Chain A
Amino acid sequence: MIGGGNAGLAAALTAARLTGRVLVLDRGQAAMRGGNTRHTRNLRCVHGQADRYSPGTYPFEELWRDLCGVGTGPGNEKLAELTVRESETLPQWMTEHGVRWQPPLTGTLHLGRTNRFFLGGGKALINTYHRTAARLGIAVRYGTTVGDLVMDGDLCTAVVTGDGTLRARAVVCASGGFEANIAWLRRYWGDAADNYLIRGSRDNDGLVLAALYAHGAARAGEERGFHSVAIDARSPRFDGGIATRLDSIPFGIVLNSRGSRFYDEGEDLWPKRYAIWGRNIAGQPGQIAYSIWDAKVRRLFLPPMYRPAEAGSVGDLAVALGLDSGAVTSTVREFNAAIRPGGTFDPGGLDDCATEGIRPAKSHWAQPLDTPPYYGVAMRPGITFTYLGVAVSEQARVLRTDGTPMRNVFAAGEIMSGNILSTGYLAGFGLTIGHVWGRIAGAEAARHAHA
């Protein structure tokens, strides 16, 4: 198993029940094991019954509809349907492998019905799987980089690691996307990529993905496809995770480096819009933007991890953020004047507080910025993961450009999510893909190794 995230471990746990010898290679050191799974917290799955952890039901048809409603719909409908169908069996499988659950986290009520939260988040999940793996006799090597596969026709005989070549009867590639490979991102985004911050592991540089391409694997997914959100510009270049994201946008206005607004901050409910703001910011000069708000709303959203800039006037706030105070003051004045009078502010729903006569409009939650102190934070695009991967069969076998499979090379997780997701994203569906395809890949790999 190349990769020790949820997909690799689901594959390992499944394979270990069918075959004797399973080895997991994790690129990270033990303390940082688990790849991007470390930063996850829930998964989306079909469930016919409500329970303590998932209030309400979420039928197959509804998840399928939700999946078709994001971006341009599923990449490969057959594989997507299989994913949705299999999702229903995941909670029980996870519980059997030691996972514990918790009620939906506060501030995520919109996900409570559709998604299940595991206790403690992704690192706890990884720890749990490792304990179960140890009981099943699965071997794990940390700090191991796989640079290439040794192919003999359509058969892989070994993987090449930083410290030697390992022979293998079957290989599961569960090594994630390439979002941490800035040079690779530059191919599609040019210099702008230098201003992207990567929310997950710095190890996700796509080495295995590139090796598979070099051996003739077919592509699946958009090469420019990535999931990104607005995160604090002070976040670390890599691995900042959940804590650095900002939820202030719908409660104030967002300016670019020229001090102008550029997108409707109140277009729709935040859970439906947070994932477009990474791209919105990526499209602005210098890939930077500024969220500003006032004292009225400051308790309405999760507090930013880094303290926001604070000032007694809009002009001073602009200076504190390094913006032109004249430009920002006039944008705010214009915005305040455009607010339609008589609206009733309701942070919990699509209210009738909107602007009139300015572009872009703010369609909901438009209140004048008039109550000091004023607050502001500089934001960058935070890339969560990339969609471009390898095409797979229903058995998770990696397909080549000529349509034939690599007989003993399988793929699971982010590295093949482009088969299922095209451009949009559903919160928690990455874990669903990782688990469903990890199990399929693990079972097929074990079967092949035994055949």
Chain B
Amino acid sequence: MPTPDDLFAEADRQLNICNSCRYCEGYCAVFPALERRTVLETGDITQLASLCHDCRACFQACMYAPPHEFAVDLPAILTAVRQASYRRYLPSPGWLRPAWLRPVWRDGRGARATAAIGVGAALLALVAVTEGIGALLRHRGPYQVIPYPALLVTVVLPTAWSAAVMLRAVTGYWHDTHGPLRDLANWRALATALRRAARLEYLRGGGAECPYPGDDPSPARRRLHGAVAWGFATCFAATLAAAFLQDVLGIGPPYPLLSAPVILGTAGGISMLAGCAGLMMLKRRGDPPPSVGDYGLIIGLGLLALTGMLTLVFRDTPAYGLILIAHLATIVICFAIAPYTRMVHAVYRFLAIVADVIEQA
């Protein structure tokens, strides 16, 4: 397995060839950012790696790609650097990174599924102790299954913990790739970056679109990714809407079909499911075939959307209680392990775009 130094050295070698060629300048922000630098430190290479959206237009256009002896494959080496950087900026073992949870964030699907079942069992025990196990069947809304305070703690705890881990990681990352934290208080740059991130500006191959997973460029991957990201945001908005109805207007669940939480949640869930299914199909066609771990994020998000949708579909049936428990267990695990998964690409890529916008100014 290559060490981080090997990865940086190889990225440096390839980027040096790119900087002497520059044919790909029109594809994305990576090449102009490269040309602004005369010496590449590891922070620079990390920044370029996060800026790369892996659209692979440059690889397809590269006359130095293998079998040429220069063996340039920028998307591959930048992906390797990027994934190594996801690990590098995590906090060192300690209370933010407890050793006993190591298998969950480290070992992938088996450990995560086990953890989710564990969390589900704990929630069932909670139900049994508080409302009695019969509450699973004779419910009228979620709080008859799990009392509101318990539900709140169940969801907020892993989320807050993940947020703390990410905050630590992001501070170190920004320091290495850009510099002072106060630069992040640049609203104009944040707004521009948000627009570019939301439009997946750098997955467009400069207008030529993304040839992944084959040779024919198409907007499919960008649109599917957009479906997942926008679906996720819409589901989040559904949660906010529900919170507003409950805590401000005092209207508790369940909400009617034609209410903001249900409409937003349904639209977001369908969008996420469609996006995840499509991305999974693209990945299956990918060459070389992706490793099992590559599917992790898609599966996780897909399960979130699926269990969420099922709670809606079956909310008037006796199955609702168990489905709700499953959904909650999925939420707990997904949110708790988020910093250790490729979910963090969203955070790092966004920061890379912010840094790039600031640099261009």
Chain A positions near chain B (C-beta within 8 angstroms): 29, 31-32, 38-39, 41, 100, 102-103, 105-107, 117, 119-124, 127, 131, 236, 239, 241-245, 299, 302-305
Interface stretch, picked from B24-32, B156-164, B277-285, B308-316, is: B24-32
Please give, as numbers and ranges, the residues of chain A lying within 8 Å of B64 by CB-CB distance.
241, 243
**Distance of A84 from chain B, by nearest CB (Å):** 26
Interface stretch, picked from B14-22, B182-190, B295-303, is: B14-22
Interface size on B, residues (CB 8 A): 32
Q: Assess the A41–B23 pair: CB atoms within 8 A.
A: yes
C-alpha gap A103/B216 in the complex (Å) = 23
Within 8 A of A (CB), among B202-217: 206-208, 215-216
C-alpha gap A443/B245 in the complex (Å) = 71
Please give, as numbers and ranges, the residues of chain B lying within 8 Å of A239 by CB-CB distance.
68-69
**Distance of A229 from chain B, by nearest CB (Å):** 13
**Distance of B64 from chain A, by nearest CB (Å):** 7
* 25 A–B contacts from the bound complex (CB under 8 Å): A31-B67, A32-B67, A38-B63, A102-B206, A103-B26, A105-B23, A106-B22, A106-B32, A106-B35, A107-B22, A119-B207, A120-B24, A120-B27, A120-B57, A120-B58, A120-B60, A121-B61, A123-B62, A127-B60, A127-B215, A241-B63, A242-B21, A243-B17, A243-B20, A303-B20
Q: Assess the B17–A305 pair: CB atoms within 8 A.
A: yes
C-alpha gap A134/B35 in the complex (Å) = 36
C-alpha gap A119/B63 in the complex (Å) = 14
Tell me which of A31, A123, A243, A244 has the highest count of chain B C-beta atoms within 10 A of its own C-beta. Answer: A243
Q: Assess the B20–A242 pair: CB atoms within 8 A.
A: yes
Q: Assess the B38–A39 pair: CB atoms within 8 A.
A: no
C-alpha gap A131/B60 in the complex (Å) = 13
Please give, as numbers and ranges, the residues of chain A lying within 8 Å of B27 by CB-CB distance.
119-120
C-alpha gap A39/B60 in the complex (Å) = 14
Tell me which of A31, A236, A242, A299 has the highest count of chain B C-beta atoms within 10 A of its own C-beta. Answer: A242
* Nearest B residue (CB) for A298: B38
Q: Assess the B23–A120 pair: CB atoms within 8 A.
A: yes
**Distance of A307 from chain B, by nearest CB (Å):** 8
Which 8 pairs across A and B sit closest by C-beta, in order of nearness? A102-B26, A121-B23, A120-B61, A124-B61, A305-B20, A243-B20, A38-B63, A243-B21
* Nearest A residue (CB) for B18: A243
Question: Which residue in A100, A107, A304 is a CB contact (below 8 Å) of B208?
Answer: A100
Chain B positions near chain A (C-beta within 8 angstroms): 16-17, 19-27, 32, 35, 38, 57-58, 60-70, 206-208, 215-216
* Nearest B residue (CB) for A103: B26
* Nearest A residue (CB) for B60: A127
Please give, as numbers and ranges, the residues of chain B lying within 8 Å of A236 by CB-CB distance.
69
Please give, as numbers and ranges, the residues of chain B lying within 8 Å of A124 by CB-CB distance.
23, 57, 60-61, 208
C-alpha gap A41/B22 in the complex (Å) = 10
Please give, as numbers and ranges, the residues of chain A lying within 8 Å of B21 by CB-CB distance.
121, 241-243
* Nearest A residue (CB) for B68: A239
**Distance of A296 from chain B, by nearest CB (Å):** 14
C-alpha gap A303/B22 in the complex (Å) = 11
Please give, as numbers and ranges, the residues of chain B lying within 8 Å of A32 by CB-CB distance.
67-68
* Nearest A residue (CB) for B206: A119
Q: Assess the B68–A302 pair: CB atoms within 8 A.
A: no
C-alpha gap A242/B27 in the complex (Å) = 18
Question: Which residue in B20, B60, B67 is a CB contact (below 8 Å) of A304?
Answer: B20
Q: How many A-B residue pairs have CB under 8 A?
A: 89
Q: Assess the A302–B20 pair: CB atoms within 8 A.
A: yes
A100-B207 in contact given A121-B61, A303-B38 (Cβ < 8 Å): yes
Please give, as numbers and ranges, the residues of chain A lying within 8 Å of B22 by CB-CB distance.
105-107, 302
**Distance of A409 from chain B, by nearest CB (Å):** 30
Please give, as numbers and ranges, the residues of chain B lying within 8 Å of A29 by CB-CB distance.
67
Q: A31-B65, A241-B64, A305-B17 are in contact. List 10 more A-B contacts (CB 8 A).
A: A29-B67, A102-B206, A105-B23, A106-B32, A119-B208, A120-B60, A120-B208, A241-B63, A244-B20, A302-B22
* Nearest B residue (CB) for A232: B20
**Distance of B223 from chain A, by nearest CB (Å):** 19
Please give, as numbers and ranges, the residues of chain A lying within 8 Å of B17 by CB-CB distance.
243, 305
C-alpha gap A125/B61 in the complex (Å) = 8
**Distance of A388 from chain B, by nearest CB (Å):** 25
Please give, as numbers and ranges, the residues of chain B lying within 8 Å of A304 by CB-CB distance.
20
Please give, as numbers and ranges, the residues of chain B lying within 8 Å of A243 by CB-CB distance.
17, 20-21, 64, 70
C-alpha gap A450/B60 in the complex (Å) = 37
C-alpha gap A122/B61 in the complex (Å) = 8
Please give, as numbers and ranges, the residues of chain B lying within 8 Å of A123 by CB-CB distance.
60-63
C-alpha gap A304/B58 in the complex (Å) = 21
C-alpha gap A286/B68 in the complex (Å) = 28
Please give, as numbers and ranges, the residues of chain A lying within 8 Å of B63 by CB-CB distance.
38-39, 121-123, 241
C-alpha gap A41/B23 in the complex (Å) = 7
C-alpha gap A359/B319 in the complex (Å) = 95
Q: Assess the A106–B70 pair: CB atoms within 8 A.
A: no
Please give, as numbers and ranges, the residues of chain A lying within 8 Å of B61 by CB-CB distance.
119-121, 123-124, 127
Please give, as numbers and ranges, the residues of chain B lying within 8 Å of A100 by CB-CB distance.
206-208
**Distance of A309 from chain B, by nearest CB (Å):** 16
Please give, as numbers and ranges, the residues of chain A lying within 8 Å of B68 by CB-CB distance.
32, 239
C-alpha gap A131/B61 in the complex (Å) = 14
Tell me which of A31, A121, A304 has the highest count of chain B C-beta atoms within 10 A of its own C-beta. Answer: A121
**Distance of A233 from chain B, by nearest CB (Å):** 15
